[in-house]
Amino acid sequence: MQRRTLLAALAATLAVTVLPASAQSPRLKVGFMLPYSGTYAALGDAIEKGFRLYVAEQGGRLGGREIEYVKVDDESDPAKATDNVNKLIKRDNVDVLVGTVHSGVAMAMAKAAKDNGTLLIIPNAGAVAVTGPMCAQNIFRSSFSNWQPGYAMGEVAAKRGARKVVTITWKYAAGDESVGGFKEAFEKAGGQVVKELSLPFPNVEFQPLLTEIAAIKPDAVYTFFAGGGAVKFVKDYAAAGLKNTIPLYGAGFLTDGTLEAQGADAQGLLTTLHYGDGLDNAKDRAFRASYQKAYSAVPDVYAVQGYDAAQMLAIGLNAVKGDISKQADFAKALEAAKIDSPRGTFTIGPSHNPVQDIYLRQVAGRDNKVIGVATKALADPGRGCKM
């Protein structure tokens, strides 16, 4: 070894031994585990863009620490999830996990986060379990529980006079729980879910199921689909001649980030979600302008959830002055926070899921126009969560 290299190496070793914990590694490593391929690819991309935008607006640092990124494509495949999350935790030594979209993958991430004590912020996946029986001090969600938009739509459908409803979705946690929320509110209000149709994720052979719906002739249909699958479902529903005869109600993912591809077939559809177009608050206006400038694109709900995941990380990190090992203080700060989101201000409930307004939206052109608040300050029940 040359003398100068040797000195440099010595200096580096000294720096590591002498400096206090928070200064040892000035960079904070964020591990994105998101779908960059498959039916949810566009969702993963929007989440990453939203997250990076907030960090860039803060000059690349949160809680005094420079942010660096590593990423893994989880392919929305639960079978690969444990291996993928362990790459980020054990190989890349990330300080924070940010992911994911698919509920089945998120449950594997939550288990690994719990086992290893790694901070996890979920920027989409609504799996009820992660803020239910699996809830933990180091696990947070910036998005929603699958139950929330479904529950809000159950109330809306009943108010609009539907009595007999058929549901149709993908057979996995997100679909089951979205339908579960809908059914809970709808049947409480006197309605009845007469048939629950489903197909495996991410299949899109909807035709036989649409034929069954036409034969049953319900007052309305409730659905959860998202991403590429949602585009195809809305088009197939219209092509089957059902759009003008049986109202289609959905969790808002049905028409979010998808309207360009759905075109005329989506016009007029009613959905419920915690974000929408035309909210007209200062934060949303600034966010949209900033996103447009950075990416030449209009943000959707996924971009908002990514942005807010970064805001939540900032709130926690500021409270512990960048020392992410102080998990109790990090959690306390978020539990007390009012998060100034483009969706409107929201808080984090005791199970670490957002407490937020769920809007009623109607598709008009390229917009999911907000036409009212379906349910105000809706909290997931957090059933089975013991912190």
CB of 62: closest distance to ligand PHB in angstroms? 26
What token pair was written down for 100?
A: 């994911």
Task: Give Cβ neighbours of residue 306 (< 8 Å, ≥ 6 apart).
Answer: 46, 47, 48, 49, 50, 51, 52, 53, 54, 98, 123, 142
**């779908």: which residue's tokens?**
35
CB of 362: closest distance to ligand PHB in angstroms? 19
Q: Does 132 bind ligand PHB (CB under 6 A)?
A: no
Strands 220-224 and 248-251, by their bridges, are parallel
Residue of the chain from 146, 169, 305, 356 that contacts ligand PHB (CB under 6 A): 146
Residue of the chain from 101, 110, 139, 324 that contacts ligand PHB (CB under 6 A): 101
Binding mask 210-229 vs ligand PHB (x if CB under 6 A, - otherwise)?
A: ----------------x---
Residue with nearest beta carbon to ligand PHB: 226
The smaller minimum CB distance to ligand PHB, of residues 111 and 163, is found at: 111
Q: Does 141 bind ligand PHB (CB under 6 A)?
A: no
Q: Does 174 bind ligand PHB (CB under 6 A)?
A: yes
The smaller minimum CB distance to ligand PHB, of residues 125 and 334, is found at: 125
Q: Does 253 bind ligand PHB (CB under 6 A)?
A: yes
The smaller minimum CB distance to ligand PHB, of residues 156 and 254, is found at: 254
CB of 146: closest distance to ligand PHB in angstroms? 6
Burial readout 21-46 (b: 16 or more C-beta within 10 A, e: otherwise): ebeeeeebbbbbbbbbebbbbbbbbb
In 3D, which of 337, 299, 289, 307 has the Cα closest to residue 55? 307
E strand or H helix at 357, and its extent?
strand 354-364
As a whole number of angstroms, the distance between CA 198 and CA 209 comes to 8
Contact by Cβ (8 Å): 155, 184 = no
Q: For ligand PHB, how many residues bind (rule: CB under 6 A)?
A: 12
As a whole number of angstroms, the distance between CA 253 and CA 276 comes to 11
The smaller minimum CB distance to ligand PHB, of residues 75 and 95, is found at: 75
Residues at the interface with ligand PHB (CB under 6 A)? 40, 101-103, 124-127, 146, 174, 226, 253
